[in-house]
Amino acid sequence: MGRIEKLQELLLQMPGDSFLRHALALEYIKLNNDIEARALFEAVLKDEPGYVGSYYHLGKLLERNRETALAIEWYEKGMQQAKAANDQHAYNELQAAYEDLVY
């Protein structure tokens, strides 16, 4: 059984688990399945806005798909959440990605 199948099986038992959904989205990215990955990242962030790691990956996915304005919005939201969580490392990563697009 591959990683995707294992994650999907675990999600059947714990459908709202943000870690599992985030991990599955990363696996979809490896397969260039940005549609499924995007849906998962957006669902994670809708259900748990404080799940800071998903902002970066969603932003990068949007950048690859030339949705720059939307990527910038997600980076901004992520920076706000990282700041609220006092997660300086995540804030710095999001800020660097944001600045690469804006400046």
Residue 11: pLDDT over 80: yes
Residue 1: pLDDT over 80: no
Q: Tens digits of per-residue pLDDT, 38-87?
A: 999 999 999 999 999 999 999 999 999 999 999 999 999 999 999 999 99
Q: Looking at residue 43, what is its pLDDT? A: 97
Q: Tens digits of per-residue pLDDT, 16-48?
A: 999 999 999 999 999 999 999 999 999 999 999
- In the chain, the amino acid numbered 59 is G
In three-state form (DSSP H/G/I as H, E/B as E, the rest C), the secondary structure along the chain is: CCHHHHHHHHHHHCCCCHHHHHHHHHHHHHCCCHHHHHHHHHHHHHHCCCCCHHHHHHHHHHHHCCCHHHHHHHHHHHHHHHHHCCCHHHHHHHHHHHHHHHC
